Amino acid sequence: MANDKEGVLPSSPDGDYISGSGVASPMEAHGSYRGSDWSPERLAFHQNLESFAERVGLIVGLQSNGKLSQEGAYAEIRKLWKSLRSSKDNLLSGDGSPGETANR
């Protein structure tokens, strides 16, 4: 972990990490959604997409370090992908309007 001179302190009692810019919860999005077509549904999907990317990175790291087989990593990523696709279908429709299920 970084030292105090770099502006990053150890985690607080509730598990949040404190930086020079404030407190960042692990449940918060890493980046903001900047689309011109902002909606609560698009924001939720954006957060789900960030979570997917983070989890895939963790799975790849586990597989690279020999903690997870290639088949196990593939199965986990496939489950995450299905969950993300379901999230997209539930939050966004094919034409961009929220709440409708996309046809496949």
Phi, psi (rounded to 5 degrees) for 96? 95, -10
How many Cβ atoms sit within 10 Å of the Cβ of residue 36?
A: 4
Quote the CA–CA distance of 77 and 84 in Å, as a whole number: 10
In tens, the pLDDT along 35-55 reads 778 889 999 999 999 999 999
Mean pLDDT of all residues in 59-77: 97
In this prediction the pTM is 0.60
The share of the chain scoring above pLDDT 70, in percent, equals 57
